[in-house]
Amino acid sequence: MSEERTGLIDRHVAFVGALRGAGLPVSMVESIDAVQAMTVIDLLDREQLRTAYAAACVKRAPHRATFDRLFDLWWPPAIGDGVAGDEFSEDGEGTSASGELQDVPPADLDAMKQMLRQQLRDVLLSGDDEALRRLARASVNGLGRTESQPGRQSWFTYRVLRALSPETLMVDLLKAVLEGEEQGGLAEKVARQMLGERIKRFEEYVEAEVRRRLAEDRGVENIQKTAVKPLIEQVDFLRASKDEIAELRRRVYPLARRLATRLTAKRRLGRSGRLDVRRTVRASLSSGGVPLTTIHRPHKPHKPELVVLCDVSGSVAAFAHFTVLLAYALREQFAKVRVFAFVDTCDEVTRFFEHGGDVADALARMAKEADVVWFDGHSDYGHSFEVFGQKWPDAVTPKTSLLILGDARTNYRALSIPALRSAVRHARHAYWLNPEPRQYWGSGDSAAFSYSDVVPMIECRNAAQLEEFVEGLLPV
Partner 1 sequence: MPLFSSPQDVRERLGQTGYLADDAIATTVFLADALEKPLLVEGPAGTGKTELAKAVTEAASAALVRLQCYEGLDEARALYEWNYRKQLLRIQAAGDGQKWEETHDDIFSEEFLLARPLLTAIRRAEPTVLLVDETDKADVEVEGLLLEVLSDFQVTVPELGTITATQKPFVVLTSNATRELSEALKRRCLFLHMDYPDAERERQIVLTRVPEVPEKLAEELVRTVRTLRALELKKGPSIAESIDWARTLVALGADSLDERVVAQTLGVVLKHASDHARAAKELGLAQ
CB 23 within 8 A of CB 54: no
Q: How far is CA 345 from CA 339, 371, 383, 406, 470, in A?
A: 14, 8, 6, 14, 27
> Alpha helix (H) ranges present in 87-156?
106-126, 129-143
> Judged by CB under 8 A, how many residues of this single chain contact partner 1?
54
Burial track 438-466 (b if 16+ CB lie within 10 A, e otherwise): eeebeeeebbbeebbebbebbbbbbbebb
| Backbone region of residue 94 per phi and psi (left: phi > 0; alpha: psi in -120 to 50; beta: other values) | left
- 463 CA to centre of own chain: 9
Torsion, CA 37, CA 42, CA 47, CA 50, rounded to 10: 20
Query: Binder to partner 1 among 37, 109, 367, 373 (CB under 8 A)?
Result: 37
21 vs 185 by CB, closer to partner 1: 185
Classify burial at 119, counting beta carbons within 10 Å of its beta carbon; exposed 0-12, middle 13-18, buried 19 or more.
middle
Q: Is 1 in the site for partner 1 (CB under 8 A)?
A: no
219 vs 254 by CB, closer to partner 1: 254
Min dist CB 52 to partner 1, Å, is 6
268 vs 302 by CB, closer to partner 1: 268
Kindly write down the DSSP assignment for every residue of 323-361, as one continuous string.
Answer: HHHHHHHTGGGSSEEEEEEESSSEEE-GGGG-TT--HHH
Min dist CB 385 to partner 1, Å, is 33
Q: Is 231 in the site for partner 1 (CB under 8 A)?
A: no
Contact set for partner 1, span 266-325 (CB under 8 A): 268, 286-288
Contact set for partner 1, span 94-133 (CB under 8 A): 127
Query: Binder to partner 1 among 11, 60, 297, 399 (CB under 8 A)?
Result: 60
| 311 strand-pairing partners | 342
The stretch near partner 1 (CB under 8 A) out of 152-160, 163-171, 193-201, 335-343 is: 193-201
Other Cβ atoms less than 10 A from the Cβ of 349: the count is 25
Query: Binder to partner 1 among 4, 6, 44, 61 (CB under 8 A)?
Result: 61
Min dist CB 248 to partner 1, Å, is 11
Q: Is 241 in the site for partner 1 (CB under 8 A)?
A: no
Q: How far apart, in whole angstroms, are the C-alpha atoms of residue 138 and residue 114?
A: 13
> Residue 151: helix, strand or coil by DSSP?
coil
297 vs 399 by CB, closer to partner 1: 297
98 vs 126 by CB, closer to partner 1: 126
48 vs 446 by CB, closer to partner 1: 48
The stretch near partner 1 (CB under 8 A) out of 14-22, 356-364, 386-394, 446-454 is: 356-364
145-149 vs 152-155, strand pairing mode = antiparallel
Q: Is 194 in the site for partner 1 (CB under 8 A)?
A: yes
Other Cβ atoms less than 10 A from the Cβ of 343: the count is 25
52 vs 474 by CB, closer to partner 1: 52
Min dist CB 47 to partner 1, Å, is 6
The stretch near partner 1 (CB under 8 A) out of 24-32, 78-86, 91-99, 159-167 is: 24-32
First to last CA, the chain: 61
Q: Which residues contact 1 (CB under 8 A, 6 or more apart)?
A: none
Contact set for partner 1, span 335-354 (CB under 8 A): none
The stretch near partner 1 (CB under 8 A) out of 52-60, 132-140, 168-176, 436-444 is: 52-60
The stretch near partner 1 (CB under 8 A) out of 45-53, 237-245, 298-306, 392-400 is: 45-53
Query: Binder to partner 1 among 253, 270, 275, 418 (CB under 8 A)?
Result: 253
> Residue 385: helix, strand or coil by DSSP?
helix
The stretch near partner 1 (CB under 8 A) out of 60-68, 210-218, 403-411, 454-462 is: 60-68
The stretch near partner 1 (CB under 8 A) out of 29-37, 96-104, 164-172, 376-384 is: 29-37
Nearest to 397 by CA among 432, 423, 431, 433: 423
The stretch near partner 1 (CB under 8 A) out of 41-49, 276-284, 376-384, 423-431 is: 41-49
CB 100 within 8 A of CB 109: no
Min dist CB 161 to partner 1, Å, is 21
Kindly state the greatest CA–CA separation across the chain. Answer: 98
Min dist CB 368 to partner 1, Å, is 16
Q: How far is CA 417 from CA 386, 389, 420, 434, in A?
A: 9, 12, 5, 17
Interface contacts to partner 1, rule CB under 8 A: 25, 27, 29-30, 33, 36-37, 40-42, 47-48, 51-52, 54-56, 58-61, 64, 127, 184-187, 189-191, 193-194, 197, 246, 249-250, 253-254, 257-258, 261-262, 264-265, 268, 286-288, 356-361
